[in-house]
Amino acid sequence: MTTSLKHVSLWLTSLALLAGCAAHGTPPPALTQARSSYQQLAADSAVLASAPKDVMRAGDSLERAERLASYWGSAEDVEHYAYLSQRYSAIAREHSVLTAEQQQLARLQLERERLQLALREARLIGVQQQGLWLEEQMLSLATTETERGLVMSLGDVLFDADRAELKGAANRTVLKLFQFLQLNPQRTVRIEGYTDNRGLADDNLALSSARAQAVADVLIDLGIAPERIKVQGHGAAFPVAANASSRGRAQNRRVEIVFSDEQGRLAPPRE
Amino acid sequence: MTQRMCAVLALLLLAGCASDPVPEAQLQVTEAALVQARAVGAGAEQAELGQAEAGLEAARQAAGREENRQARMLAERAELDARLAEAQALTAKNRAQIAELRSELRRLRTQLGEQP
């Protein structure tokens, strides 16, 4: 057995010698391509970092192809391992491209979040500005410029007769008032209650105060600072219409909001 | 002596064919790589996927003819064809996402620019 091994080794040596000749010829194009692919790859640290295993395999296959290329009669194997090496190189490159582009995708996703946030904020401001515009419209329609400043009248519909609780439908109007005060933090208000002339003067005074206070309470509950709101009941005083008709009396049952100027200065209360 | 040497040589030559078992494992690995490539969206438009499919088929036929060495090499090449197709499909998917995101960002920027 040892002698046969010797013979084999002899035979292999002669093969290697033959291969020595073969190796001097031009290497097969597949091997040349695999070589240059691998060299480009190995020089690229990003590829190495993102696909080390595939780079290693590309190198191993190339090494095998190179070794086989020095043997005679192994052209098919050389071609095979050169092919594998090139494929590993291509896979490694693809992985590295994917890694880089995934990072890019992540950056873009962050950018999108940032932009969406900015857009939401911009829209909110837009809505607030729109709201401000609406409130100004509302005020210009509902208010009258008097010697007391800007006055907005909340009609009788806010309250049931002899009751001081705000009706459900009234809350929307008060909510608008709240929004206006929120958007105009410098302004303060005086909420004045009025009744018609039926009933006792003391009761009317108490009722008018309670109604004004009901409006103020809602605003305070919503978060307007109490010091921005003054409340006053006037009873049947200062009617806006004749108390002779029910229509006139309904007009006299009201709550008026007196707005300060933009510096928070309120006109003095009525005497 | 010469006889012995001849016998060894003949054995060696024979061994070249006989020592290769049917590459069952490699065929399975290649098959799995193909399944995986298709699963991530590799399609017929990729030459590499076609190569992998044809390669696996050729490998199976070679195995059927008991050309096991040939079958193994074909299957090995087909495996890498499939893995490359898979990697390319993943990159393409990611690229499509990037493109979509970019156009979304353009829209967002335009909308932001239109805000008062």
DSSP H helices in chain A: 2-24, 29-42, 45-50, 52-69, 75-142, 170-183, 201-222, 246-252
Flag if A126 and B115 touch (Cβ within 8 Å). yes
**Helical (H) or strand (E) element with A154:** strand A149-154
The ipTM of this complex is: 0.81
pLDDT in tens, A14-56: 544 444 444 446 778 889 999 999 999 888 888 989 999 999 9
In a domain, B86, yes or no: yes
Average pLDDT of the segment spanning A184-189: 88
Q: Is residue B45 part of a domain?
A: yes
Q: B38 in a domain, yes or no?
A: yes
Report the b/e string of B40-54 with b at 16+ CB within 10 A: eebeeebebbebbbe
Tell me if B10 is assigned to some domain: no
What DSSP designation does A28 have? Answer: P
Contact A91 B83 (CB under 8 A): yes
Range of the domain at B56: 22-114
- Which chain B residue shows the shortest CA-CA distance from A80? B73
Which of A1, A41, A94, A125 to mutate against chain B (most B CBs within 10 Å)? A94
For B33-56, write each residue's pLDDT tens digit: 999 999 999 988 899 999 999 999
- CATH number of the domain enclosing B110: 1.20.1270.390
Q: Does B97 touch chain A (CB under 8 A)?
A: yes
Quick check: B112 and A122 CB within 8 A? yes
- pLDDT single digits (tens) B85-115: 999 999 999 999 999 999 988 888 887 775 4
What is the distance in angstroms between the Cα of A100 and the nearest Cα belonging to chain B? Answer: 10
pLDDT at residue B115, rounded to an integer: 47
Instruction: Decide if B54 contacts B21 (C-beta within 8 A).
Output: no
CA distance B93 to chain A (A): 10
Decide: helix, strand or coil at residue A194: strand
Q: What token pair was written down for A244?
A: 């002779």
Q: Does residue A157 sit at the B interface (CB-CB below 8 Å)?
A: no
Question: CA B34, CA B75: separation in Å to the nearest integer?
Answer: 11
- Residue B36: the pLDDT is 96
A104, A114, A128, A132: best mutation site toward chain B, by most B Cβ within 10 Å?
Answer: A104
Within 13 A of A58's CA, how many CA atoms are on the CB side? 26
pLDDT in tens, A195-233: 889 889 999 999 999 989 988 988 887 778 899 999 999
Tell the CATH superfamily of the A147-259 domain.
Answer: OmpA-like domain (3.30.1330.60)
Within-domain flag for B105: yes
Does the residue B4 lie in any domain? no
The CB-side HSE value for B66 (13 A sphere, CA atoms) comes to: 4
Residue A2: per-residue pLDDT: 47
Kindly give, in sequence order, each residue whose CB lies less than 8 Å from that of residue B9, ignoring residues fewer than 6 positions away.
A11
Q: Are A197 and A178 in contact (CB under 8 A)?
A: no
Q: pLDDT tens digit string along A103-145?
A: 999 999 988 888 888 777 776 776 666 666 656 655 655 666 6
Q: At what angle do helices B68-114 and B2-18 cross, to 10 degrees?
A: 40
Domain count, chain B: 1
Residue B6 inside a domain? The answer is no
